[in-house]
Chains A and B, each alone.
Chain A
Amino acid sequence: MNWLSVSDFLTMRGYGLYVWGSYGMTALLMLLEPWLAIRHRRRALRAAANPDAED
Chain B
Amino acid sequence: MNPPIRWFTFAAPSRFYWLAGALNPWLWASTVALTVAGLYVGFFIAPTDAVQGESYRIIFIHVPAAWMSMIVYLAMAFWAALGWMFNARMASMLARALAPTGAMFTFLALWTGALWGKPTWGTWWVWDARLTSELILLFLYLGYIALVASIDDVVRGDKAGALLAIVGAVNVPIIYFSVDWWNTLHQGATISLTAAPKMAHTMLAAMLLMTLAFWAYAFAVVLTRAQALILERERKTEWVRQLALTRKGWQ
By a beta-carbon cutoff of 8 Å, the part of chain A in contact with chain B is: 1-3, 9, 12-15, 17-19, 21-23, 25-26, 29-30, 33-34, 37-38, 40-49, 51
Closest to B220 in A: A34
**Are B54 and A13 in contact (CB-based, < 8 A)?**
yes
**Are B231 and A44 in contact (CB-based, < 8 A)?**
yes
**Are A26 and B101 in contact (CB-based, < 8 A)?**
no
Task: Kindly list chain A residues whose C-beta atoms are within 8 Å of the C-beta of B65.
Answer: 26
Task: Kindly list chain A residues whose C-beta atoms are within 8 Å of the C-beta of B232.
Answer: 44, 47-48
**Are B115 and A18 in contact (CB-based, < 8 A)?**
yes
B1 at the interface (CB under 8 A from A): no
**Are A45 and B224 in contact (CB-based, < 8 A)?**
no
Contact of B119 among A1, A18, A26, A44 (CB under 8 A): A18
Contact of B54 among A15, A25, A46, A48 (CB under 8 A): A15
Q: Known contacts A13-B54, A18-B55, A45-B244: does B61 contact A26 (CB below 8 Å)?
A: yes
Closest to B234 in A: A48
**Are A40 and B225 in contact (CB-based, < 8 A)?**
yes
Size of the B side of the interface (Cβ < 8 Å), in residues, is 43
**Are A29 and B221 in contact (CB-based, < 8 A)?**
no
Contact of A41 among B46, B235, B251 (CB under 8 A): B251
Task: Kindly list chain B residues whose C-beta atoms are within 8 Å of the C-beta of A9.
Answer: 43
A-B contact count (CB 8 A): 106
Query: A22 CA to B251 CA in the complex, in Å?
Result: 32
By a beta-carbon cutoff of 8 Å, the part of chain B in contact with chain A is: 43-44, 46-48, 53-55, 57-58, 61-62, 65, 100-101, 104, 107-108, 111-112, 115-116, 118-119, 217, 220-221, 224-225, 227-229, 231-232, 235-236, 240-241, 243-245, 247, 251
Task: Kindly list chain B residues whose C-beta atoms are within 8 Å of the C-beta of A14.
Answer: 53-54
**Are B58 and A22 in contact (CB-based, < 8 A)?**
yes
Known: A19-B54, A26-B112. 6 other contacts (CB 8 A): A9-B43, A13-B54, A29-B104, A43-B228, A46-B244, A48-B240
**Are A2 and B115 in contact (CB-based, < 8 A)?**
no
Task: Kindly list chain B residues whose C-beta atoms are within 8 Å of the C-beta of A33.
Answer: 100-101, 104, 221
Task: Kindly list chain A residues whose C-beta atoms are within 8 Å of the C-beta of B58.
Answer: 18-19, 22
**Are B44 and A1 in contact (CB-based, < 8 A)?**
yes
A-B contact pairs, 21 of them (CB 8 A): A1-B44, A12-B55, A14-B53, A14-B54, A17-B115, A18-B55, A19-B54, A19-B115, A22-B61, A25-B112, A26-B61, A26-B65, A37-B225, A41-B227, A41-B228, A41-B231, A44-B229, A45-B247, A47-B232, A48-B240, A49-B247
Question: B145 to chain A: closest CB distance in Å?
Answer: 13
Contact of B231 among A2, A22, A48 (CB under 8 A): A48
Query: A54 CA to B65 CA in the complex, in Å?
Result: 39
Task: Kindly list chain B residues whose C-beta atoms are within 8 Å of the C-beta of A3.
Answer: 44
Closest to B39 in A: A23
Query: A34 CA to B101 CA in the complex, in Å?
Result: 10
